[in-house]
Amino acid sequence: MPTAYTILFLLLILVAAATWIIPAGSYDYADGVPIAGTYHAVEQNPQGPGDVLRAAFSGFYDAVDVCVFILMVGGFLGVVMKTGAVDAGVADIIRRLGGREKWLIPILMVLFGLGGTTYGMWEETMAFYPLLIPVFLAAGYDAVVGISVILLGAGAGVIASTVNPFATGIAAGFAGVSLGDGILLRLLELVAFEAAAIWFVMAYAAKVKRDPARSVVGVGAGKIQVAVDGQVDFTPRRKLIMVLFTATFLLMVYAVIPFDEMGLPLPVLGWWFPELSALFLAAGVIIGLIGRMGEEELAETYVAGCADLLGVAFIIGISRGITVLMRDGAITDTILHWGEGALSGTGPVAFTLLVFLLYLPLTILIPSSSGLATLSIPVVAPLGKFAGVGGDLVVTAFQSASGLVNILTPTAAVVMGALALGHVSYDRWLKYVWKLMAVFFLLALAFLAAGTALG
């Protein structure tokens, strides 16, 4: 199987080739929002080899805030690992669990699911993979289990985003409905999707625990390893470092939650990637000083930690280049216009299911849920009125498809970045997760059909 870099460059070439075949077109826009029924042809702008190479770098510039955040997390983790606190802490956790490690799976997946459904926790999960993969490796599972707990836990929550202001909220605004419209259906989806994901991961983890040969990658596969033989003492200094380590992640989660948009009376920090990058830089320096590192050692350790995640940052940038190519080739609006034509003149249930199916390929091409909502909902939602379908169902269909595809597609930076951190190849991930994705697909169809019929 080719590396993630090769897969993404092949996708860039395919998208560039599509700009030579798909007619260029555009909608009229008002304040950056497309106006339904205004699609028109524009001059063709096919993308050549030079554009493909430039798109990879343009994508990196587009995603520079996320990429820098990833590097700062890498430096932070490099410093923490150098102190020995993680090795000692993980060994202590495994000893305390005493064979009950499997209960970490549902507990953590529910927590990540809550993050996914409430504020769209997705890019932020990148910080947790280097932390949790070693825990599951040390417990006798494989890297896939560690990845699944985070990716599938948060992913199931994102599919059934209830009050996620960054995707569902934006989509609801463009559809002319409130965030609370359709929330009951999405809550039922949340329970069903999260339960299915937990059952799937626990069943796989138990299988690997019983027979390591049944792992799709091999137990302990990957370069992320920890010492659990008790040789690293969990000293008071290392305990303090782990307290600060945990507090850093908790502060990150709190700082990005828009409590005001959720109607909760809690102080809103409103941080995003620049502030979060500064948080991990400051925390890394403080922990290095507590670990009695000298100035030179601290600087070199932090930079080395950044270098460890440089490949992940490149993957995120290259994947963003696909959207850049589509935009420069003026084919994004054409593809959306084709979808607009396919949706016209259908009945309520058929319309809702077709909206869901339309968003599956659209999400592959435009992985950003907020960007996809801004681009497409103003076009799709008005069509729903003619089909007798409320804006809340359009929003739910959009969110269900977007969340489902982003667990699987190689254009999703989080997927490729997580696999790179766990040293799991993309084909192994597909082999492992396709059955759960089939279950998710059928569940989404069933919920949307029932919601439309009962509505």
Identify the residue with better confidence: 338 or 412: 338
Looking at residue 201, its pLDDT comes to 97
The mean per-residue pLDDT over the stretch 15-29 comes to 93
Residue 46 pLDDT > 90: yes
pLDDT digits (tens, 9 = 90+) for 147-164: 999 999 999 999 998 877
pLDDT digits (tens, 9 = 90+) for 393-436: 999 999 999 999 999 988 888 898 899 888 899 999 999 999 99
Residue 455 pLDDT > 80: no
Looking at residue 222, its pLDDT comes to 44
Looking at residue 321, its pLDDT comes to 86
The mean per-residue pLDDT over the stretch 181-189 comes to 91
Three-state secondary structure of the chain:
CCCHHHHHHHHHHHHHHHHHHCCCEECCEECCEECCCCCEECCCCCCCHHHHHHHHHHHHHHCHHHHHHHHHHHHHHHHHHHCCHHHHHHHHHHHHHCCCHHHHHHHHHHHHHHHHHHHCCCHHHHHCHHHHHHHHHHCCCCHHHHHHHHHHHHHHHHHCCCCCHHHHHHHHHHHCCCCCCCHHHHHHHHHHHHHHHHHHHHHHHHHHHHCHHHCCCCCCCCCCCCCCCCCCCCCHHHHHHHHHHHHHHHHHHHHHCCCCCCCCCCCCCCCCHHHHHHHHHHHHHHHHHHCCCCHHHHHHHHHHHHHHCHHHHHHHHHHHHHHHHHHHCCCHHHHHHHHHHHHCCCCHHHHHHHHHHHHHHHHHHCCCHHHHHHHHHHHHHHHHHHHCCCHHHHHHHHHHHHHHHCCCCCCCHHHHHHHHHHCCCHHHHHHHHHHHHHHHHHHHHHHHHHHHHHC
What is the number of domains present in the chain? 1
Looking at residue 231, its pLDDT comes to 59
pLDDT digits (tens, 9 = 90+) for 444-454: 999 999 999 98
84: confidence class by pLDDT, cuts 50, 70, 90: confident
Looking at residue 1, its pLDDT comes to 65
224: confidence class by pLDDT, cuts 50, 70, 90: very low
Residue 32 pLDDT > 80: no
Over the chain, what is the mean pLDDT?
Answer: 87
**Structural domain boundaries, residue 162:** 4-454
Looking at residue 219, its pLDDT comes to 58
Residue 329 pLDDT > 80: yes
Residue 361 pLDDT > 50: yes
Q: What percent of the chain clears pLDDT 90, i.e. is strictly above it? A: 42
Looking at residue 127, its pLDDT comes to 79
Looking at residue 223, its pLDDT comes to 40
